[in-house]
């Protein structure tokens, strides 16, 4: 009888879906007031002991003449919602030497809503809002205050540790 119960329990557990986290995620919100739904590209997004890096792609960017969106944030000590640096950039297809860029030190708002660690995975939810300014890609020089993008985006992602 004990063997029968063990066998049935084993079969039940074997047929249940795995609960493992998979890298990737979604980004929703607005770019210049227009709704977007984008994808966190798992192969280029990760986390370390003191940073997160997200690489975002999606048709909603290409339709606006934009390329990939990148978000990076760094912290000191434990991840608690306080960031020493955060920045967002969006490539510009029309001029690959120029990007839209913003950082927390210049008014970009970066808020951590929730996070949890499971093994080498970081499940994170954050919101970034503010204005990105077009400037040189290398060195973030020569900003054009007349060419900006407003963003208000929520990131739900699972990142694998480097």
pLDDT band per the 50, 70, 90 thresholds, residue 32 = very high
- The span from the CA of 97 to the CA of 61, in Å, is 17
Q: What is the pLDDT of residue 13?
A: 45
Q: What is the pLDDT of residue 30?
A: 98
- The span from the CA of 24 to the CA of 157, in Å, is 6
- The span from the CA of 46 to the CA of 87, in Å, is 15
Pair of tokens at residue 137: 């890609």
| pTM of the complete model | 0.84
Of 158, 150, 84, 83, nearest to 121 by C-alpha is: 158
- Give the count of beta carbons closer than 10 Å to the beta carbon of residue 83: 20
Residue 14 has pLDDT above 50, yes or no: no
Tens of pLDDT, residues 34-47: 999 999 999 999 99
pLDDT band per the 50, 70, 90 thresholds, residue 21 = confident
Of 96, 125, 95, nearest to 110 by C-alpha is: 125
């Amino acid at each position: 009888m004990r063997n029968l119960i063990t066998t049935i329990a084993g079969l039940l557990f074997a047929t249940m879906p795995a609960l493992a986290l998979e890298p990737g995620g979604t980004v929703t919100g607005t770019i210049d007031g227009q709704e977007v739904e984008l994808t966190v590209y798992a192969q280029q997004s990760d986390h370390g002991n003191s940073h997160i890096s997200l690489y975002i792609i999606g048709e909603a960017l290409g339709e606006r003449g934009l390329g990939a969106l990148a978000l990076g944030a760094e912290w000191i000590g434990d991840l608690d919602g306080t960031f020493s640096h955060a920045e967002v950039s969006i490539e510009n297809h029309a001029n690959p030497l120029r990007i839209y860029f913003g950082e927390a030190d210049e008014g970009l708002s970066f808020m951590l809503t929730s996070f949890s660690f499971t093994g080498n995975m970081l499940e994170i939810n954050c919101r970034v809002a503010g204005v990105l300014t077009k400037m040189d890609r290398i060195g973030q020089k020569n900003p054009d205050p007349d060419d900006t993008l407003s963003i208000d985006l929520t990131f739900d992602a699972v990142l694998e540790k480097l």
